[in-house]
């Protein structure tokens, strides 16, 4: 044990940690979330909403695409970050029932970096831009909503019309969607 301490002294730490009883500490997950948020450069098409500004692990991200088929819509995603972050990815769900090949009717999102391709070196920014990308380039080859993916693949024009109808709260086939026009 004595040997360990001499190793410590040899280190000649320039900085010094203070002993004594300390108050509650910031957890590593929170530190990382704070870092990710402080580096978040959101474009004008995106906005965050924190129900409780003291809880940075839970928030809503609003995306208002300014181009593409989903232009004029406003889409909310719930972000839930747990204490295992960044080992675990943030849990992200769409808050509305929307017509989109990669988002199912329950709001589950098929984005590789939210699940199978998540790595701790990725950050909130990567996820947020990934989500935005889904609205610019809906992807028929990773379908979560099979009908929407089929429509996109077989008839792009009909798919566009369906998107328009769904966004104003209309029906696509027999399914009614949420109005996402602000």
Partner 1 sequence: METDSMNSTTIPERMNIDRTRWSYLDCVLKKGGPFTDPEAVFGDGVISRIESAKILVIGAGGLGCEILKNLALSGFKDIHVIDMDTIDVSNLNRQFLFRESDVGKSKAECAAAFVERRVKGVKITPYNCKIQDKDESFYSQFSLVVSGLDSIEARRWINAMLVDMVDAEDPESLKPIIDGGTEGFKGQARVILPTISACYECQLDMHVPRQAVPLCTLATIPRQPQHCIEWAHIIAWEEHRKGTVLDTDDPEHVTWLYQKALTRAEEFNIIGVTYSLTQGVVKNIIPAIASTNAIIAASCSNEALKIMTGCNPFMDNYMQYSGDSGIYTYTFNFAKKDDCPVCGNLARDMQVNPKLTLEDFIASLSERAESQLKKPSIRKAGKSLYMQFPASLEEQTRPNLMKKMSELVEDGEEIAVADAALSIPFRYIIRYS
Q: From the list 43, 112, 154, 155, which residue makes contact with partner 1 (rule: CB under 8 A)?
A: 112
Residues 6+ positions from 63 with CB-CB distance below 8 Å: 45, 46, 74, 75, 77, 131, 132, 135
Cβ neighbors of 130 (< 8 A, separation 6 or more) are 111, 113, 114
SS3 per residue for 96-161:
CCCCECCECCCCEECCHHHCCCCCCCCCHHHHHHHHHHHHHCCCCCCCCCHHHHHHHHHCHHHHHH
**Of positions 79, 81, 104, 152, contacts partner 1 by CB under 8 A:** 104
**Contact region for partner 1 (CB under 8 A) — 86-94, 130-138, 151-159, 160-168?**
86-94
Among 108, 126, 165, 179, binds partner 1 (CB under 8 A): 108
Closer to partner 1 at the Cβ: 9 or 157? 9
Instruction: Decide: is 1 part of the binding site for partner 1 (CB under 8 A).
Output: yes
- In whole angstroms, the minimum distance from the beta carbon of 150 to partner 1 comes to 10
Residue 79 CB-half CA count within 13 A: 29
By CB under 8 A, the residues from 135 to 174 that bind partner 1 are 142-144, 146
Q: Which is nearer to partner 1, 128 or 172 (CB)?
A: 128
Measured from the Cβ of residue 42, the count of other Cβ atoms closer than 10 Å reads 15
Q: Looking at the annotation, which residues are catalytic?
A: 110
For partner 1, the binding residues (CB under 8 A) are 1-5, 7-8, 11, 13, 15-32, 34-35, 37-42, 47-50, 53-56, 83-84, 86-89, 102, 104-106, 108-110, 112, 115-116, 118-121, 142-144, 146
């Amino acid at each position: 044990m004595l040997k360990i301490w001499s190793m410590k002294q040899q280190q000649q730490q320039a900085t010094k940690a203070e002993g004594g009883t300390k108050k509650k500490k910031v957890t590593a997950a929170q530190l990382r979330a704070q870092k990710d948020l402080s580096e978040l450069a959101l474009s004008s098409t995106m906005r965050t909403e924190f129900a409780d500004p003291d809880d940075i692990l839970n928030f809503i991200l609003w995306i208002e695409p300014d181009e593409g088929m989903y232009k004029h819509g406003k889409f909310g995603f719930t972000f839930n970050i747990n204490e295992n972050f960044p080992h675990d990815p943030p849990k992200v769900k769409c808050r509305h029932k929307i017509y989109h090949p990669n988002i199912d009717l329950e709001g589950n999102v098929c984005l590789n970096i939210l699940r199978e391709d998540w790595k701790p070196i990725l950050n909130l920014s990567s996820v947020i831009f990934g989500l935005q990308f889904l609205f610019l380039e809906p992807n028929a080859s990773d379908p979560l909503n099979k009908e929407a993916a089929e429509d996109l693949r077989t008839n792009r024009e009909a798919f566009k019309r369906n998107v328009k109808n769904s966004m104003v709260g209309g029906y696509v086939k027999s399914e009614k969607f949420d109005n996402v026009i602000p």
